[in-house]
Homo-oligomer: A and B are copies of this chain.
């Protein structure tokens, strides 16, 4: 039921980049030190965030990472899903085939409703509202 450490790092990372939105790229090294995230692990995380189109990378001298969209256009859901894949409460809400007992299941809609609740809340929580955070 918990997000992983990796997701928590990703959120911190985007939070940090939000402070410098519209400025020059920030190096992995800097984010790592400021946000207390292991350097090489952060590199992996930023790759995922780049593939998800949340950040953009620049190589070479003066390289680093920038947000690809303004903080107001990035939700917690975007970041969580970039790292963990689709949010699901139970196996069966993402892959109906994992429901191995036949017939209509009244627990299934309960998980789906909960999932919708979570997705909705994470989706409407954006990084501009969290920017004053120093975590």
Number of identical monomers bound together in the oligomeric complex: 2
CB pair B134 A87 closer than 8 Å: no
> With an 8 A cutoff between CB atoms, is A21 at the interface?
no
In contact, B89 and A1 (Cβ under 8 angstroms): yes
Bits for A70-100, please: 1 = Cβ < 8 Å to B, else 0: 0000001000100010011111000000011
Whether a CB of chain B sits under 8 angstroms from the CB of A56 is no
* Main SS at interface, chain A: loop
Q: Does A130 contact B (CB under 8 A)?
A: yes
Choose one: B35, B103, B113; the contact of A121 (CB below 8 Å): B113
A107 and B135 form a contact (CB under 8 A): yes
A101→B12 contact, CB < 8 A: yes
